[in-house]
Amino acid sequence: MCGIVGYTGPRQASRILVEGLKRLEYRGYDSAGIAVQRPADAGSPLAVIKRKGKIAELRSAVPKDLPGTCGIGHTRWATHGGVTDANAHPHCDASGKVAVVHNGIIENHVALRETLEKEGAVFKSETDSEVIAHLVAFYYKGDLEEALRAALRHLTGTYGIACIHSDEPGRIVGARNGSPLVVGVGSGEMFLASDVTAMLAHTRQVVYLNDREVVSMSADDFRIADLEENAVDPKIDRIEWDLEEIEKEGFACYMEKEIFEQAESVPRALSGRVDRENGTAKLGGLNLTRKELHAIERVRVIAAGTSWHAGLVGAYILESLARVPVVAELASELRYRNPVVEPNTLYLAVSQSGETADTLFAMREVQRRGATVLGICNVVGSTIARESDGGIYVHSGPEIAVASTKAFTSQLAAFYLLGLLLARTHDLSHAEGVRFIKQLDAIPEAIKGALATRDKVQAIAKKYARSGDWLFLGRGILYPIALEGALKLKEISYAHAEGCGAGEMKHGTIALVDAETPSVFLVPSGHLREKTISNIKEIKARGGPVIAVADSDDREVESLADDFIGVPPVDALFQPFTQIVPLQMLAYFVALELGRDVDQPRNLAKSVTVE
């Protein structure tokens, strides 16, 4: 969601801050700003510049020669208060000496605001975040860290905070509770950010803050302690991503680049994790013995959005292979229920960022009740990865576009591996395990074949781009792919799209069929193929245009459809990998035809770290 950047060191802070904010654009935002400590002879204590709109608006407002070597920056996604310059961060106290940037939501901000106004504070914005600046100023007695600690004792809600004070040159203080914050350790300079991408150009050495921790840093030192002031021994991790991985590399958009990276990202997710000799998978990060794996009787998946769709496919795989009952649950629903945690039940928390608020809080709730939770995440060092009992990194690499593509297929790869491992501890034979691995080995090449439909998909997108309503229909393991295809189109084209179970079509959905509403059918190659063909004929009989995605050699489906996208034939169990790719491209090209901002669609953020 919102983004934080902080810098202290020998270099011009404003340039590093704006550059860092630019790299955080993908998280979603509607305004941006920076605050830089001025030299002692500069007049006003802090230079605060903020603008609604894109980073380009902020960049043009920041003087190229702005002095100051310590500062903080922020990209805001509006929650409290409209999109205005005044509501943009950083926020200052009345004296202009304190500046604060904040991610999260302060739930008791109204009561705090009323109290502070009685003490003489004058507020300039409608945001919940501004109360933090006034609280810090109220408690400041010459020690910024102590003032922030005192302020935190009054806050209810979630926060990632960075704070500076003009009386403490070169110092940044930050705190985290429910919203990510990362320290970057440089040579004679320090960084603070909500995401490592903001500082990857300058350092690979990072420390992930845990909830209820406070960091105080200068150019050449930092210390971390919890809210009770107990010192924390920091663990420094190294980021292995290359800066080039988060550049567009000749593609028009990050989303297009990430769609085409799937031929490499899926093999990365599988690499080193297949035991061909024994027909099984190797997943050492699960931290479970063979005996513990064999004792698993049920699986529950906790996820949101695209990760939930991956979990629905995962449920199908685990049930089909390992013969254990699986339910994929929306984290936002589970966290507010009174969930029953049964014995011998494994929970899987799935999140690309590892910071998704609902998934994280649902995970913590079932852990309190004694559940074992494994994380399936992309971001190394993320909160879910650190707080889960074990897990699988999907290794898709940095995903910048808001609409997830390559992380989705990498999550699928993780589920297929886990399904194979569980199945081999239950009743899947060695021969069946070896056969499964051969089919899995063929998937990267099949994805390349699916990507080769690019020109065909682009032509179809051009034909139907102005359709206001779309239906996506699938059965069995392709039903979640229909949901994901509809979500992709909604996210970046803003067209209304519904993902439907094809078998449920006559229970209401068929009423939406007309000549202006394309129906995108995902045709399985297995026992549900004939049923799906019958559904296609029913749509055609009512004058609805049909776009069919099926095996490239399926001539019957090709003859029935108005538009046909043929993908490489694979076993029905593996079709999610090939059929999702043209749907991702369809959404992308429709959005381009409509002139949408593909990488940063309106109202959306990459990582939903607040409710």
Average pLDDT estimate for 8-28: 90
pLDDT surpassing 80 at residue 52? yes
Does residue 46 have a pLDDT over 80? yes
pLDDT above 70 as % of the chain: 97
- 413-469 pLDDT tens trace: 999 999 999 999 988 999 999 999 999 999 999 999 999 999 999 999 999 999 999
pLDDT, one tens digit per residue, over 548-589 is: 999 999 999 999 999 999 999 999 999 999 999 999 999 999
pLDDT at residue 241 greater than cutoff 80 = no
User: Residue 283 contacts by C-beta under 8 Å, 6 or more apart in sequence?
Assistant: 273, 392, 417, 418, 421
> What is the reported pLDDT for 606?
67
Question: Looking at residues 472-476, what average pLDDT do you find?
Answer: 96
pLDDT tens for 187-196 read 999 999 998 8
pLDDT at 530: 93
Helix H or strand E segment including 32:
strand 31-37
From the number of C-beta atoms within 10 Å of its C-beta (0-12, 13-18, 19+), residue 369 rates as exposed
Residue 610 has pLDDT above 80, yes or no: no
Mean pLDDT for the chain overall: 93
Would you say residue 87 has pLDDT above 70? yes
Residue 42 has pLDDT above 90, yes or no: no
Mean pLDDT for the stretch of residues 494-512: 90
> What are the start-end ranges of the H helices in 426-541?
430-441, 443-451, 454-464, 479-493, 529-541
- Angle among Cα 422, 425, 426 to the nearest 5 degrees reads 90
CA distances from 364 to 299, 332, 405, 593 (A): 17, 13, 27, 43
pLDDT at 506: 82
| Position 600 pLDDT exceeds 90 | no
Half-sphere exposure of 307 (CA within 13 A, CB side): 28
Tally Cβ neighbours within 10 Å of residue 32. Answer: 32
Q: Which positions are catalytic?
A: 2, 606
pLDDT value for 601: 86
pLDDT at 508: 86
Q: What are the angstrom distances between the C-alpha of 397 and each of 76, 94, 266, 329, 411?
A: 25, 43, 10, 26, 12
Find tokens 């939903």 and name the residue. Answer: 608
Residue 335's pLDDT is what?
Answer: 86
Helix (H, G, I), strand (E, B) or coil at 375: strand
What domains, with CATH codes, occur in the chain? 3-239 (3.60.20.10), 248-441 (3.40.50.10490), 449-611 (3.40.50.10490)
Q: For residue 105, what pLDDT is reported?
A: 87
φ, ψ of residue 401 to 5 degrees: the values are -60, 140
| pLDDT greater than 70 at residue 257 | yes
Q: In this structure, what token pair is assigned to residue 605?
A: 């953020």
Say whether pLDDT at 1 is over 70. no
pLDDT tens digits, one per residue of 9-18: 999 999 999 9
pLDDT at site 511: 86
Average pLDDT estimate for 511-517: 89
Checking if the pLDDT of 74 tops 70, the result is yes
pLDDT-based confidence at 243, cuts 50/70/90? low
Q: Cα-Cα-Cα-Cα dihedral of 537, 541, 545, 551, to 10°?
A: 10
How does 593-606 read in b/e, with b if 16+ C-beta sit within 10 Å?
A: beebebbbbeebbb
pLDDT at 611: 60
Mean pLDDT across 347-370: 94
Question: Binning pLDDT at 50, 70 and 90, where does residue 376 land?
Answer: very high
Stretch 224-241: mean pLDDT: 89
Q: Determine the length of the chain.
A: 611
Res 159: pLDDT:
93
Q: Other C-beta atoms within 10 Å of 119: how many?
A: 8
With the C-alpha atoms ordered 123, 129, 135, 137, is the resulting torsion angle positive or negative? negative
Mean pLDDT, range 78-100, rounded to an integer: 90
pLDDT beyond 80 at 27: no
Q: What's the mean pLDDT in 150-177?
A: 95
Answer yes or no: is pLDDT of 350 > 90. Answer: yes
